[in-house]
A = this chain, B = another copy of it.
Amino acid sequence: MALASTQAAQARRQLVLNLFIYPGGHHEAGWRYPGARPERLLDITFYQDLARSAEAAKLDAVFFADGPAQVDNIRYASRFRLEPLTWLSAIAAATTHIGLIGTASTTYYEPYNLARLYASLDHLSGGRAGWNIVTTAVPQASANFGLAETPSHAERYARAAEFVDVVTKLWDSWEDDALVADPVSGLFADDSKIHPIEHVGRHYRVKGALNTPRIPQGRPVYVQAGSSDDGRSFAARYAEAIFTAHQTVESAKAFYADIKKQAAGLGRNPDHVKILPGISPYIGSTEAEARQLHEAFSDLIQPEYSISQLKQITGVDFSGHPLNGVVELDAFKDAGPAKLVASRFQLVVDIVRREKPTLRQLIDRLAGARGHYVVVGTPEKIADEIQHWFESGAADGFNVMPPWYAAGFDLFASQVVPILRKRGLFREDYTGRTLREHYGLPRPQSQFAEAARATA
């Protein structure tokens, strides 16, 4: 029976599940919830324990967001940043299988520095690194890097494309067999297989090669999260996994179909582009208990914070607007995505159009997971939702966004994952060691390898 279910699982398309780690939890008041341990927010062992729990549940990866600025209102929420590369390196040392995805910006990093950091994470983790490629758009970040203004959307994506081109070449610059390390002959590296990349482009000039041998995965897994038109075509071209925010299965399906089609149009195998919406589960043993849990979080919301977040997403200031007053669609008519994250702005406008919420209802919706899909219910209901999205062409898996830690994730791991496993939708155990293997992605060949040159 165990064997049969294992075989069924192998035959069947498998979910991808990442644990998205955000200091204090994804609900903006998560750090205040009983048991959340805010005194451990800077304690690496707290995060190592979380990653070990995720690994015990056989999840694909842990994921850290990032941005090089203090953007959020820190007065009421645990919205500082944990630097992903260092944090993930320390987590790597405490785990053996789980993937390690960190965010870094193409706007504020030098390609050579970034390529080294991710190469090192992949070496020290034995092939578990993923890079979430972002094109950071906030003026606070630009002000930390001496930029008079934040580059335009198109400019940032043009820069990002060249950036990805450069770091890809750097990660390819040592062929797999360039490292010889033969103490008898004295040959350490075959330098005919180490290639200065000699990149000269519009934004970057990088001679290369990288100063470290090729990494276990060849390249880290390329992850992306932009949902604007530019973001989608960038993702379809480069991304191997896409994080995305959808409130409805219909919206997710449209996004899914669009990306897969664009990827196929570019000659890529659509199966090698995993679409992973966020999901924030509020789990109770009954529907009523789950609703109670969700309400307990709502009671901890501090509207002053929520309203500052709403302004950050939409550009519209609702201070002074009565909490019980309905939010009119008109309020957003002069706002626009010019200097905002386009997809996040649209998501809020869609909620207002669809649900005609009061200000209180709107901030409740966003407090849960900043616009990601919030599900409140029993483990079965949550598993049903996941299965429905997975089987109706809306998702290849999910970024799991617990409202708080550690119990908010432990509930998911102990209650929901076993149901998915029983249904044959999620692995019984790891079958590989690298993130590429977990995701079912090929290991890329170096573009400088002889075989690649011959077929070029």
Contacts of A89 in B (CB 8 A): 85-87, 89-90, 93
Number of chain copies forming the complex: 2
CA distance in complex: A110, B105 (Å)? 13
Interface hits, A28-70 → B, CB 8 Å? 29, 31-34, 36, 38-39, 41-42, 44, 48, 67-70
Whether B112 and A181, one on each chain, are in contact in the complex, defined by CB atoms closer than 8 angstroms, is: no
Which partner residue on chain B sits nearest A71 by CB separation?
B211
CA distance in complex: A117, B121 (Å)? 14
Contacts of A145 in B (CB 8 A): 110, 112, 206
CA distance in complex: A42, B125 (Å)? 10
Whether A93 and B208, one on each chain, are in contact in the complex, defined by CB atoms closer than 8 angstroms, is: no
**Contacts A39-B181, A81-B212 hold; do A186 and B300 have CB atoms under 8 A apart?**
yes
Q: Is A237 an interface residue (CB 8 A)?
A: no
Pick the interface stretch among A72-80, A258-266, A281-289: A72-80
Which partner residue on chain B sits nearest A140 by CB separation?
B207
**Contacts A75-B187, A186-B76 hold; do A205 and B31 have CB atoms under 8 A apart?**
no
Contacts of A67 in B (CB 8 A): 211
Whether B210 and A74, one on each chain, are in contact in the complex, defined by CB atoms closer than 8 angstroms, is: no
User: For chain A, what secondary structure do more than half of its interface residues adopt (helix, strand, loop), or is it mixed?
Assistant: loop
**Contacts A68-B211, A191-B75, A211-B69 hold; do A124 and B86 have CB atoms under 8 A apart?**
yes
Whether B188 and A75, one on each chain, are in contact in the complex, defined by CB atoms closer than 8 angstroms, is: yes
Whether B181 and A113, one on each chain, are in contact in the complex, defined by CB atoms closer than 8 angstroms, is: no
Whether A119 and B83, one on each chain, are in contact in the complex, defined by CB atoms closer than 8 angstroms, is: yes
Interface hits, A86-100 → B, CB 8 Å? 86-87, 89-94
Whether B206 and A146, one on each chain, are in contact in the complex, defined by CB atoms closer than 8 angstroms, is: yes
**Contacts A90-B92, A92-B90, A213-B80 hold; do A68 and B112 have CB atoms under 8 A apart?**
yes
Counting from the closest, the 9 A-B pairs by CB-CB distance are: A93-B93, A89-B89, A143-B207, A83-B120, A146-B205, A86-B120, A44-B124, A70-B211, A38-B181
Q: Which residues of A contact B (CB under 8 A)?
A: 29, 31-34, 36, 38-39, 41-42, 44, 48, 67-71, 73-83, 85-87, 89-94, 108-110, 112-113, 116-117, 119-121, 123-124, 140, 143-146, 181, 183, 186-191, 194, 204-213, 300, 302
